[in-house]
Structure 1
Amino acid sequence: MGRLRGVAGRLRALLGTARRRVDPALRTLTPAGRGVLALTVVAWILGWRLGWDEMTLLAATGLVLLAICALFMIGRTNLEVRVAVEPPRVSVGESVAGSLSVVNKARTPALPFVLELPVGEGGVAFSYPLMRPGGTQEEIFVVPTEKRGVIDVGPATSVRGDPVGLFRRDLGWSDVSEIFVHPRIVPLEPLGTGLMRDLEGVTSNNVSMSDLAFHALREYTPGDDLRHVHWRSSARHGKLLVRQFLDTRRSHLTIVVDSRPGSYRSDDDYETAVSVAGSLLVRALLDEYDASFASGRHAASKVVGKAVLDACARAEPSPETLVSVAREANRLAPDTSFAVLVSGPFTDFVELQRAAGQFGIDVAKAAVRVDHELTPAVRTAGDLPLLTLGRLEELAPLLHWGIG
């Protein structure tokens, strides 16, 4: 029994080794290759069991065809592939050029192969002839940027196969690069929320004992920090006086864009809504505000520099309600001081008010409705200014009139 168990163990080990060696080869078979292999096996069984010479000939033909095609897969591919795209950030419609550099790092010539490079929803393919060791070849391609969004470039994948298409081996050689296609924006005047700045931000009416905005002097009470005693005034009045300050806070603009396709008359109106958000966010950064953005499943808090438009580029239509997105935006940016809601004509005013209500009562709020069929207008219902526009160019005058 012990000898039988030993033989069985060795047999399992051999089968495992054989399977590990055969599996990579079987994975290179295409659906057509698997069909030819299956037909060859069936024809050989029929020819052997029934004595059909025709089946035996068919099996031999299939075997020879598989063997010849398998010869094209012999050898290892060792490439160095570099993908570069410039610039990595553009506005809608601007051109982006990419380069694909391939070096054969193997000691033997590389057999002809195809290099596939996914670009967004499409891709490009380059055919390479026999490449000598150390050989280099460079290709140029253009990335389409007609639509706002994030375009994934890569990974570059080499494709080795035979002329008949029975075998195929794909190998990835590069990482995925991102190209940010930013929304179109327009220049805006400073937002001017009517609040006065100091060294660190914007002053409020909240009294504090430790800040940068000096407010007044008051009589010392036990527990006050002696560092805030104003000694000259204390000597003049004959009693201890301490400095009193106002709390300061940095203005924080949060933009919430309705992502539901049913809220807009067209896809172009949604793109205009994102452009409105991008224009306001860029102006906020120029005014040294903090800036946050939320639309659908994507949200970014306190983005700075180019990342503010990167956040807009990632926005996509999704079914989340404006109220739920505003609630998430308030969670991510609880220190928001100015909130702007952007939506389409099919979002009723009550929902806009409910979304605005997700922010605190001390937060200034405004709404923008994008509708290319209506004329520009500004109105206020309750405490929520509502700006209506159809084109991005109408934002600057409306903004100055409505909340400037």
Structure 2
Amino acid sequence: MSEAVGRRFGGLRLMPSRLGSYAAPAWARVQPIAASIRSGVRSVVERSAPVRAILRSKLAIVSLAGWVCLGALAGSLGLSLLLGWRELWAAALVILALFFVAIVFVLGKDRHQVTIDLASTRVVVGERAVGRLRVSGDGREARATNIELPVGRALATFAVPHLKADEELEELFTIPTQRRGVLQLGPARSVKSDPLGLLRRERSLTEPEQLYIHPRTVALTGTSTGLLRDLDGVARQRLSNDDISFHALREYAPGDDRRHIHWKSSARSQRLMVRQFEETRRSQVAILLSSHPTEYSDPEEFELAVSVAGSIGLNALADSKTLTLMGPHRALVRHTRNQLLDGLAGVELDGRSQRFDEQAGTVAAQSPGTSLVVLVAGTGIETQHFRRAAARLPFTASCVGVRVDPKGDLGRRTAGELTVVTVPRLEDLAVALRKGVG
């Protein structure tokens, strides 16, 4: 059938189109041109990257007020040319003069050397964190300037006068530590600016440091951790031919290590007797700290939970146990006191963190050899929630729940093999973990 003749389908006449036959050759001719244009634009952008970086660094000295003034300068010049108003010419000249004056204030090389010394990079909530700022002129005279020191979200400013070649300025400062956290200190930077704040020139002088504000903890003596020791102190019944805990003597069998032959008993019984040992293992403790906002009534309750977790963790480390702390998103093995407290210093309530029972499942997956798990949560977690979380733990692990409730009473509740203690204050933790609570 000829292309000029249409087809009939259901009473409709469909005419063939020649668009496809013409579009394909046209696009084939345009495509190489478009590809070359894209390649050229990409090449120009890549080659201009160093230039753009230099311009960005140079223009960074212009403050927000400076950009506003530049916009006013451009507007005044444009309107003066358009309307011919001399007043706008005068305004443009004044703005231009202000910029020339501002440039004079920020010119010159900064010769300051700054040193930040902290008395300690780790403090407990409420303790004084004291630091010292020392500024010198690097063996030459240094002009007056301002030194800014970021401390977390706050900013401390020190006015440094003109320093002679051998002169040094020393300033003491105190950092508030009313709240647990990790603060970044620095980098300290020198700031040159004009009186109107049109230009601002900064130069970093130090490397940033971190200040850890640890949670409050209490010491748990051997007599105050009876519950934890009962749960974790169950002796294993497996016997071994080579360990450190002596169990009994038995008759020698081929293949036994001759170093374990007990010669005195062998001489008395006229048979070779070897030592048999009770298999031991190093205790592994996991602390699961809930961190979802719905599991606490207020932030102060969460702070109490963090302090409880830190106190129990320090007790485990003092007993030479392997400790795993379950944070908001993952389990972290802590080997030292500072590692534990540094990790707890940065823990925050997070709505994206796992729920209580999900965290228990993570502990079971990442630490299957755990022998004791301590579940720490707030008033948003009831006893049934503790039981559901304990059901997801390794079956070989003992479990104890700690529920912090600043408005509640000290107590202890047992649900099957799970024991849940209620702690209203940090000072009550030692009492709550004794056997006599309940």
Normalised to the residue count of structure 1, the TM-score between the two structures is: 0.85
The equivalent position to 1:41 in structure 2, one of 55, 59, 74, is 74
Question: Paired residue for 1:269, among 287, 301, 320?
Answer: 301
Q: Is the 8 A contact 1:385 1:402 kept in 2?
A: no
- For 1:5, the equivalent position in structure 2 comes to none
- Which residue is 2:33 aligned to? none
Aligned pairs for 1:4-403 (under 5 A) are: 22-48=55-81, 51-105=84-138, 107-110=140-143, 112-190=144-222, 191-192=225-226, 193-194=229-230, 204-230=236-262, 233-234=265-266, 237=269, 239-297=271-329, 299-319=331-351, 320-401=354-435
- What is the deviation of 1:161? 0.9
Query: In structure 2, how many angstroms separate the alpha carbons of the residues matched to 1:329 and 1:314?
Result: 20
Contact 2:142 2:164 in 1 (8 A): yes
CA contact (8 A) 2:134 2:169 kept: yes
Deviations, residues 272-296 of structure 1 (Å, cap 9, x unaligned): 1112112222222333333332232
Cα distance 1:402–1:298, how it changes in 2: closer, same or farther (>3 A)? farther
Task: Give secondary structure in 1 for the equivalent of 2:435.
Answer: helix
Q: CA 1:196/1:45 → structure 2, altered by over 3 Å: closer, same or farther?
A: closer
CA distance 1:334–1:164, change in 2 (3 Å): same
Structure 1 alignment gaps of length 5 or more: 1-11
Q: Answer whether contact 1:298 1:314 (CA < 8 A) is retained.
A: no
* Residue matched to 2:23: none
Q: Could you tell me how far apart the structure 1 residues matched to 2:323 and 2:314 are?
A: 9
Higher radius of gyration, 1 or 2: 2
Q: Tell me the alpha carbon deviations over residues 186-244 of structure 1, each in whole angstroms, 9 at most, x when there is no partner.
A: 232323424898xxxx9522222322122233344444444444455455555554433
Name the aligned partner's letter for residue 383 of structure 2.
F
Quote the offset at 1:126 in angstroms: 1.2
The question of whether the paired residues in 2 share the 8 Å contact of 1:155 and 1:173 is answered with yes
- 1:90–1:27 distance in 2 versus 1, CA, 3 Å: closer
TM-score (norm 2): 0.78
Report how many aligned residue pairs link the two structures: 387
1:130-183 Cα offsets, whole Å, 9 max, x none, are 333443211111111112222222221221111111101222222222222222
Q: Distance in 2 between matches of 1:341 and 1:196?
A: 14
Q: Does the 8 A contact of 2:285 with 2:370 survive in 1?
A: yes
Aligned-partner Cα distance in 1 for 2:363–2:380: 22
Task: Tell me the C-alpha RMSD between the 2 structures.
Answer: 3.0
Contact 2:248 2:276 in 1 (8 A): yes
Deviation at 1:298, TM superposition (A): 6.3
Alignment deviations for residues 358-400 of structure 1 (CA, whole Å, 9 cap, x no partner):
3322222111111123221112101101111211222222211
Whichever residue aligns with residue 70 of structure 2, its letter is L
Does the aligned pair in 2 maintain the 1:104–1:134 contact within 8 Å? yes
The answer (yes or no) to whether the contact 2:232–2:398 under 8 Å persists in 1 is no
8 A contact 2:128–2:176 mirrored in 1: yes
Change (3 A) 1:23 1:145: closer
Identity of aligned residues (%): 36
Q: Closer, same or farther in 2 for the Cα pair 1:66/1:242, shift >3 Å?
A: same
Task: Return the alpha-carbon distance in structure 2 between the equivalents of residues 369 and 381 of structure 1.
Answer: 14
User: What amino acid is aligned across from residue 419 of structure 2 in structure 1?
Assistant: P
Q: Which amino acid aligns with 2:67?
A: R
d(CA) in 1 for partners of 2:83 and 2:261?
A: 111
In structure 2, the CA distance between the partners of 1:64 and 1:257, relative to structure 1 (3 Å rule), is same
- Between 1:327-336 and 1:370-379, the stretch displaced more is 327-336
- Counterpart CA distance in 1 for 2:54 and 2:414 is 74
**Aligned partners of 2:304 and 2:404 also within 8 Å:** yes
Aligned letter for 1:97? V
* SS of aligned partner of 1:181: strand
CA distance in 2, matches of 1:299, 1:78: 47
Q: Distance in 2 between matches of 1:328 and 1:188?
A: 27
Q: Judging changes above 3 Å, is the alpha-carbon distance between structure 1 residues 402 and 115 closer, same or farther for their aligned structure 2 residues?
A: farther
Q: Which runs of 5+ in 2 are unaligned?
A: 1-44
Q: Is the alpha carbon distance of 1:360 and 1:21 closer, same or farther for their aligned partners in structure 2, counting shifts above 3 Å?
A: closer
2:296 & 2:191 partners in 1: Cα distance? 44
Distance 1:64 1:18, change over 3 A: farther
